[in-house]
Amino acid sequence: MNVAVTNPQADATSNEGAGSEVLFGRYMRPDQQEYPCQVATLGPSKIEVVAQHEVEFGEHIVAYLDQIGRIEGIVSARNEAGFTISLSLSGSRLERFEKRLEWLNNRNDGDEDDQRRHARYQPSDSASQLILPDGRNYPCEILDISVSGASVKVDVIPSIGTYVMLGKMRGRITRVHPDGIGIEFLKMLDTQGLKSSFSF
């Protein structure tokens, strides 16, 4: 499910002007037990998450989300897929959170071509593995790779915004093309490290 990262001035359920990103994380209940979750909708006043473990209405939740960090709030609604966390942010904390949402929107709206301005290489051994968040992995072929991302030929096509592992490199899918997908690495590689990992 793609997260609707809302405009900070919009309500959390609104998709107007929003980017599309898949955010994962974990949440902690009052008994200190932690469970995995995925964000469905993210806004300045509430967050809807998909989770398998049930929570109680009114329960205090502390969540740690990719690209967002630590947040906390109260369970204000439950459904079959998960639950809603209502936030009570104000002052500088609210301002920082809104700036983070704006950053996510701008990140999603960025031009993928601009993100791959670095030199691209075609590895002589192009075989690799694409690993999805749920642990499934698929054989793939690296069409070209740079310090910032890669173009990959693969049979399965996950949604744009999905976080994946390409071999040992973590990234997210930023585009789909006729042969497969484009991946942006979360951490830019150095040229020497790239050349030591692949033969060109």
CA distances from 45 to 97, 106, 181 (A): 10, 20, 34
109: enclosing H helix or E strand: helix 91-109
Residue 16 is predicted with a pLDDT of 32
Q: What is the pLDDT of residue 18?
A: 36
Task: For the chain, 200 residues long, give each residue's pLDDT as a single digit of tens.
Answer: 333 443 333 333 333 333 445 678 889 999 999 998 888 888 889 999 988 888 999 999 999 887 777 889 999 999 888 999 999 888 888 888 888 787 776 665 554 444 445 677 777 788 999 999 888 999 999 988 888 889 999 988 888 888 899 988 889 888 888 778 889 888 877 777 676 666 55
For residue 176, what are its two tokens?
A: 């789909």
DSSP secondary structure letters along 61-125: EEEEETTTEEEEEEEEEE-SSEEEEE----HHHHHHHHHHHHHHHHHHHS-HHHHT-S--B--SS
pLDDT score recorded for residue 87:
93
Alpha carbon distance 10, 100 (integer Å): 14
Which one, of 85, 80, 74, lies nearest residue 41 by Cα? 85
Instruction: Return the residue matching tokens 């109680």.
Output: 56
What pLDDT shows up at residue 13? 35
How confident is the model at residue 169, as a pLDDT? Answer: 87
Domains of the chain: 3-109 (2.40.10.220), 114-197 (2.40.10.220)
Burial class (CB in 10 A: 0-12, 13-18, 19+), 14: middle
Other Cβ atoms closer than 10 A to 145:
28
Residue 19 amino acid letter: G
Q: How far apart are CA 190 and CA 187, in angstroms?
A: 10
